[in-house]
Amino acid sequence: MHTPYKEASCVHCSELSDGELSQLRERIEDEHDGHEELGRYMLGMVGAAALIMLLLIVFAVISA
């Protein structure tokens, strides 16, 4: 599904019509966008957790 043209498509997609291939590409793009959004969310959560841990360490050192 990484080929840009129908004539160079893989064996799994070669029997799809142009409309079906277009729908498949659109669905894959939508799924990719969802995965990208989830990745950004998870990266933000990891960053927030790292910041909280850093603040806890700093306060522990200061109060010791």
Give residue 57's pLDDT. 96
pLDDT in tens, 11-56: 777 788 889 888 989 999 999 999 999 999 999 999 999 999 999 9
Confidence of residue 4 (pLDDT cuts 50, 70, 90): low
Cα 58 → chain centroid: 33
Q: How confident is residue 3, by pLDDT bands cut at 50, 70 and 90?
A: low
Q: pTM for the full model?
A: 0.60
Cα separation, 33 vs 37, in Å, equals 6
Indicate the residue type of 55. Answer: L
- Give φ, ψ of 25 to 5 degrees: -65, -40
Q: What is the CA radius of gyration of the chain?
A: 23
pLDDT of residue 2: 59
